[in-house]
Amino acid sequence: MNILLTGGAGYIGSHTIVELDKAGHSVVVVDNLVNSSEESLNRVAKIIGKQVPFVKADVRDAAAMNDLFDKFKIDAVINFAGLKAVGESVAKPLEYYENNMNACFVLLDAMRKHNCKNFIFSSSATVYGDPAIIPITEECPKGQCTNPYGKTKSMLEEVLIDLQKADPEWNVVLLRYFNPIGAHQSGLIGENPNGIPNNLMPYITQTAVGLRKELGVFGNDYDTPDGTGVRDYIHVCDLANGHVCALKAIERKCGLAIYNLGTGHGNSVLDVVKAFEKANNLKVPYSIKPRRAGDIATCYCNPAKAKAELGWEAKYGIEDMCRDAWNFQKNNPEGY
């Protein structure tokens, strides 16, 4: 298939290009580079041996999107484009709602005008809020999101569900990612956050490389085995491969389909620190800090539905994730 990746120069998008190419698909990327660099696409070219077509444009630009669909015959779209920093979304709600929602509306309109009705959406475990069921299945009711970023994911899911209901020709796959970390084994592509990282793994790797003094562990009084927050960390290459498998649902005309993409295993913050130290033979200095506002104790999924229906399951473990995250960081201490 010929697949358009919006936001394809970003962290998950760049890894997904590699997996799609491996599976024999063709890729076109559109990105405005607001949170990425074209260098990630040059690195991808080194891995797959060819440069993928790249359109530098904002997905909110309807003329640019219509031109793109005129120029390329696109069979399906994977929509990675969006702003994703939780804290920033609280400070700049209008910018987040406007970018994430509008980009999706403009894209969907250009798609239907060009009769391309196959759509994969990057959603998040954040839509479950403080989950009612652990491990989380897709039947778990959605919960209250505590920030505008999470609300854009939850609202766009509703928009897509309504669109598919109104026009059953659409195939819509909502992929709810758990916590992607790690990097491609080559060390050429990986996570490249701007400024001080919000997420755990980039904070650990930047501490290990000496860019940060120590990791702050946000709370050790949660109702978890060691008191620190438990999450379902998933290797970004496994997650990327989940998109290849999601295309199978599209091929068999799934209508609406929702999948959790996680490993099904929970690791605490201190488990991740220990695994990182063991995998890389390094020490990560840390100290216990107060809880972070909006955090929950435990979040991990039951990934059985994706296995049964897509034949997808994660194959990498936490030490692989730690090894590959560090490999990218040490090869690229200042990022791209």
For the annotated catalytic residues, the residue numbers are: 149
| Residue 105 in the binding site for ligand UD1 (CB under 6 A) | no
Q: In degrees rounded to 5, what are phi and psi of residue 214?
A: -155, 160
Q: In the complex, which residue's CB is closest to ligand UD1?
A: 229
Q: Do the beta carbons of residue 172 and residue 138 sit within 8 Å?
A: no
Pick the binder of ligand UD1 from 16, 100, 154, 179 (CB under 6 A): 179
Work out how close the CB of 179 gets to ligand NAD at its nearest, in angstroms, rounded to a whole number. Answer: 6
> Is residue 328 close enough to count as binding ligand NAD by CB under 6 A?
no
Q: For ligand NAD, which residue of 103, 183, 230, 279 counts as binding (CB under 6 A)? A: 103
Indicate whether 81 belongs to the interface with ligand NAD (CB under 6 A): yes
Site for ligand UD1 in 264-323 (CB under 6 A): 269, 292, 294-295
Q: Does 261 bind ligand UD1 (CB under 6 A)?
A: no
Q: How far is the CB of 224 from ligand NAD (least distance, A)?
A: 20
231 in contact with ligand NAD (CB under 6 A): no
Instruction: Return the one option of ligand NAD, ligand UD1, none that residue 198 interacts with (CB less than 5 to 8 A, by type).
Output: ligand UD1
* Contacts of 295 by beta carbon, 8 Å cutoff, 6+ apart: 218, 219, 229
Pairing of strands 230-231, 267-268: antiparallel
Burial 127-143 (b: 16+ CB within 10 A, else e): bbbebeebbbebebebb
Which residue in 15, 43, 84, 184 binds ligand UD1 (CB under 6 A)?
84
Positive or negative, the CA dihedral 52, 253, 69, 190 is negative
Which option in ligand NAD, ligand UD1, none does residue 217 bind, with CB closer than 5 to 8 A by kind?
ligand UD1
Q: Torsions phi, psi of 94, nearest 5?
A: -60, -45
246 lies in the binding site for ligand NAD (CB under 6 A): no
User: Which residues partner with 79 through β-bridges?
Assistant: 6, 121
216: partner contacted, choices ligand NAD, ligand UD1, none (Cβ within 5-8 A by kind):
ligand UD1
Give the count of residues interacting with ligand NAD (CB under 6 A): 27
**3-class SS of residue 176:** strand
Neighbouring residues of 27: CB distance < 8 A, sequence distance ≥ 6: 2, 3, 4, 5, 8, 17, 20, 21, 52, 53
**Rounded CA separation 140/190 (Å):** 31
Side-chain half-sphere exposure of 329, counting CA atoms within 13 A: 24
Interface residues with ligand NAD (CB under 6 A) are 6-7, 9-13, 31-36, 58-60, 80-84, 99, 103, 122, 124, 177, 180
Interface residues with ligand UD1 (CB under 6 A) are 84, 86, 124, 126, 150, 179, 198-200, 203, 215-218, 229, 231, 269, 292, 294-295
